Structure 1
């Protein structure tokens, strides 16, 4: 296989340039929005030429789609790992579900670039393709809620939660709203800072309310 001048294989160099473009575009789209983001700025942020950008993605529209869906899939995978770790073997439902909620919110800064993209979706939604919004919801928010729902059904079978197939979607939705929703809304998706103590207080309050609704009695 032919080697590039820097010693990298052509395939490795191509993959790295693609990843650099995704990172650069995530930064620029998150900062400037879809409409205002420029191809030149994205290429400069990624450290590649505009020709390379067009060769990989064909233009800004396809690049935004790839950036949003790639970012959503990454965040979903991270949340799914948290859900698996905290809810796969529950010994104390209050402790374990609170630990999940605290870590979920405690690590939200890791997903700050994605939240910037989400804010752009909210502000520029009418200008974005409807199928893109639907696909983002499918592999992003709805996939995370589904991962919670599946675990809640299992905990219902185990007799830990008063959850079954009929009310599991509702339970998963309420869990995310009660533990993460108020922080997300009141910080405007991370724009306005919130003290760690306040975040933890809201999470713990949300967990208590959730368990009043869905904890198995006796």
Structure 2
């Protein structure tokens, strides 16, 4: 069994795009993980305390997350400056949405956040799945990936709900920030395949996203375990050699 896991890991590593090992040393997931956890925990509290300003609070905390993600994951100067520009643009959109409350601005904000989160997810997968060795940073990175998947899907659900109203039924509010947090909750419940049933997708697009998220969640756990075990076996073999 261990030999098969090792072969699987080696095949995945060969199929991946080569990444400079120095990049792995500089990537630090603890800051991005802390930012994501702060966003997931503190933003709902801020929404309860300041319900009228929920949207700008969510966008502002997302902007901080972008800055931290860029700082902790990217060591290329051009991409770093691009990431900071993206954060500034996200903050500008948050301010515009606060003052003008435009549906177009809201959609553009979601697309900007999706662009950042998906790129962060790709970088994190390269570091975690194909990094040189297992360490605490890689374990933290694997948790970060899981949170990124859940948030990305919540934003996708938000886009579906924005274009097709009432795509979800049950205990969901159709009010800005409150609706977003309902979708965050639904996303992580789906990702972990808990399936409480208090929120249900009712059209084809929402249902497709829901079952795709459940599949990704299950496959991620399986591939992550195979990757970490394979990397551990590879490290042991290298130590013997």
TM-score (norm 1): 0.30
Of structures 1 and 2, the one scoring higher in RCO (CA 8 A, sep 6+) is 2
Considering only CA atoms, is the larger Rg found in Structure 1 or Structure 2? Answer: 1
